[in-house]
Chains A and B, each alone.
Chain A
Amino acid sequence: MITDTVRPHRSLWGDAFIRLRRNRLAVTGGVIILLIALTTIIYPFFSRYDFASQDLNAILQSPSMKHFLGTDELGRDVFTRLIYGARTSLSVGIFTQLIVLGIGLPLGAISGAAGGRADNLIMRFVDVIYAFPDLLLIILLRAILGGSIYMIFLAIGLVSWVNVARLVRGQTLALKQRDFVTAARVFGGFGSYITTRHLLPNSLGPVIVAVTFNIPRAIFAEAALAYIGIGVKPPTPSWGAMIRDGNNVIFAAPHLVLFPAIAIGILMLSFTFLGDGLRDALDPRLRR
């Protein structure tokens, strides 16, 4: 008979996770993201300050023991506002990508699997959206949809699904040529079944990577919206809005610009490193 030894059963995802763990930058990125996420959840229970409570006796203070990162021009605690701002940024990152997946996956899969006229129609629509400058389109949608935070998710999501749709279409087209798809048809599989069972799961790796790289872009888009004053409504903290407010007093209190800017940088970099690690981990060519 053949071999009788049994190795531990690791799934493809298990393998990928092991490779991901070896990548120090990616692990650092992931840990920072987790830490920030945990802090946003736990912090409100321990904080002395509320993100909206003002103390007009203590405005524009520098970092001190009382106010860890100082106060802004209304005397609000900057550290508290940063944490709550992280909540906005993270939820923007995650919920926009849920919208992106919700639109991009099915449209891309239909486009690639069906081909012909449906493919042409969907891809020309994608081209039109792709041709628009992202931020301009987001501002337009924001004007149409209104200013609640959910509408901002929607506006950013509606703009950024195109690259996922293109990716999934490309993957589907390539996978369609593979023998196992023919094999699935030999054993009685039909169109939509093959697409969901065989084509989509095989394209998930690159999609996860693309989505991870999309998150910092969405975070940045939200910060940019807030910076030009059409983001989430005050007093809900947003890092972009904090930078804009700090701009007015940049020489009196430079930390008001500096800290949120650093926060945006760290969060975006963390997601980028994580995405980088995921790409290496999920790349089948590196599989041993």
Chain B
Amino acid sequence: MSDKPLLEVRNLSTYFYTQDGIVKAVDGVSYAVDRGETIALVGESGCGKTVSALSILRLIPEPPGKIASGEILFDGIDILTLPKDRMLDIRGDRIAMIFQEPLTALNPVLTIGLQITEALERHRNMHGAVALEEAIRLLKIVGIPQPDQRVKDYPHQFSGGMRQRAMIALAISCEPELIIADEPTTVVDVTIQAQLLELIRGITEKLNTALILITHNLGIVARYAHRVYVMYAGHIIEHGSSQDIYHHPCHPYTRGLLASVPRLDEPRKTRLQPIEGQPPDLIQLPPGCAFGPRCPHVIDACRQAVPPMTEVSPGHYAACRLAVPDRKQS
């Protein structure tokens, strides 16, 4: 195993060219994932989490979308310069994805088994009974009872949680090196959420698979991710180990996010603090810090130029002029 990261995103910018102007959904984002590592992309709706993940697979609808600049190095290869057919070989085989809504991500007129064998046929050259056998084995791994029966079911005969399990089975069918999970637990209820996340963690640990967990749920992040990237308005504004982010948040936005989530380790009478205001219009970002208009600590310098990424402590970075470790909570 080399010490080079499995996936390295450098200065990625993905823009959407609309009638109203250029939407900078992802603007100069960099992150890295090591083999077997789980990172989390955190942020509120519309901050560019999903777009940055779809960019890795080159699945941005084009037009109107376009990857304007940047490099995505996967195992040392720049994915963005690969010819289309080489990209098809990578998708599903080396990089897989788990979708937010398994019901819409599964084809309603094909059986679960057929959909799982699809990737096996494409990448592993397995056919017929062999592929079906493998599909049953995968369903068993993800904890679906009576997999030899259920493999013949259609998606609408599965419950929500089971559909997501089937989706996970599909994602791991070719033992990919990287799985992108786009809010995998948003549509299932809390009890199933925990089960699914444990399942995903167990599998990624066993297969040494790297995982990009896209979520807005900071509770999940603390428990499952090794490192966290906080996104706001298409930029990464803070990143570090989940310990750093959770216990010493530096960026006012990260603090705001944490303050708006209930915590078990604080007295119950603490009130939840919402972040005031709305996320900015991605077509016309303010010239300085994108969070400036909502920031309680904003100073003049913030409004003039985008604050640079500074290292607060080893491995913990924040793009804020006031970035000093939060001693109050430590």
Residues of A within 8 A of B (CB): 1-4, 6-7, 9, 11-12, 178-180, 182-190, 197-198, 201-202, 204, 284, 287
Contact = CB atoms under 8 A, between A and B. Distances in A.
B181 to A, nearest CB: 12
Contacts of B91: 185-188
B44 interface: no
Contacts of A178: 104
A179 B99 contact: yes
Interface string B111-142: 00000001100110000000000000000000
Contact of A6 (B92, B110, B149, B159): B149
Contacts of A190: 88
Interface residues on B, range: 35 or more
A2 B199 CA distance: 14
A180 B92 CA distance: 14
B279 interface: no
Given A187-B92, A189-B118, A189-B122, 11 more contacts: A1-B143, A1-B145, A2-B143, A2-B144, A2-B145, A2-B162, A9-B149, A180-B105, A188-B89, A188-B91, A189-B88
Interface string B144-185: 111001001110110101100000001000000000000000
Nearest to A205: B109
Interface in B194-242: none
Candidate in B104, B107, B118 with the most chain A CB atoms within 10 angstroms: B107
Given A184-B118, A188-B123, A202 B59 contact: no
B7 interface: no
Contacts of B156: 287
Contacts of B105: 179-180, 182-183
Interface in B73-90: 88-89
B57 interface: yes
A284 B104 CA distance: 14
B154 A179 contact: no
A187 B153 contact: no
A187 B96 contact: yes
Given A179-B101, A187-B96, A188-B89, A4 B106 contact: no
Given A183-B106, A201-B109, A188 B92 contact: yes
Q: Which of A2, A6, A186 has the most CB of B within 10 A?
A: A186
A189 B91 CA distance: 8
Contacts of B89: 188
Contacts of A184: 107, 118
